[in-house]
Amino acid sequence: MAQSQRKITPVQPGKSSAAKTEQTDADGRPTTLREAYDDKGNVVFIDTVTGMEWVDTLINNKPKGNIYPKLYTVTAGVNVWDPVMRLLGQHYGLGEVWGELSLYNRYNPIIVLGLGQASMTPDGQNYTYRSPMAPYFKLGVNYNILYNSNPRYQVHVGVRYGFTPFSYSIPNATLAPGYWNEPEQISIPSQRTTAGYFEFVAGLRVDLAKGFSLGWDVIYHALLHEGKSTYGKPLYIPGYGKRGAPFGGSFSLSYTFRLPQKSAPADDDSDTHSAQ
């Protein structure tokens, strides 16, 4: 606690010495202090014994509200999670790009556009599931928990709604041998359908240099609605992943443009590029 501003009111002799024997609280303040507010709205502490008035600069200098401009930055990124996972043996997913607008370095509306595709044979099964390349779209918002801190570092949570129109087929399902001990081949023709899903996202983003950043997200998702199908439910949904797998992830490389401002916050030492 700092004594940057202090007022001493008249007291009777001898009372000030009594304050020296008073106990202090966990913050080192005498227990005789009473919290109040001055005419400027500052938090002050008044010693009920000596009449001294203390202004706690640690409390009053805390940022109030948003310290960054309303329209602050625009970020564009590419999610390389699926391409990397496909190199490691995953048989579905292609890739996606996204754009994000930062409001006050706090609320970040985001739009995601992607393409998904699958060609996989489930473990222990005798058929191949195929879904040709199809688009998906996501709309949502991220909330930056570190909104009044250095904008080069972001810890965020967010929600999104995803939607995709796609198709799928099973061209070569093999049935077990029947009476004549011969296996039978059947196929399921292409089925067109749609799906909508919800996502909850938690992640972080770290600025590398010159506006380039890396970001990691953990994603929980759940299906909200899907079209009817004659031959059962699809195993893969573009942008969502495999049915029955509630968790996913993302790994993004992004670039941030600083929007023109009349003045920048004094503690903003980020090196993102300004949009011209």
What is the 8-class DSSP label of residue 15?
H
How confident is residue 172, by pLDDT bands cut at 50, 70 and 90? Answer: confident
Q: Return the beta strands (E) in 63-106 as ranges.
A: 71-79, 95-103
pLDDT tens sequence across 47-67? 777 777 766 655 555 556 788
Please tell me the least confidently modeled range out of 82-86, 124-128, 152-156. 124-128
Question: Tokens in use for 256?
Answer: 């941030």
Q: pTM for this structure?
A: 0.71
Question: Tokens in use for 192?
Answer: 């067109």
Query: Whose CA is closest to 106, among 76, 59, 73?
Result: 73
Contact (CB, 8 A) for 116 and 81: no
Determine the Cα–Cα distance for residues 228 and 193; give it in Å rounded to an integer. 7
pLDDT tens sequence across 237-271? 999 999 989 999 999 999 999 998 765 554 455 55
pLDDT tens sequence across 200-219? 999 999 999 989 999 999 99
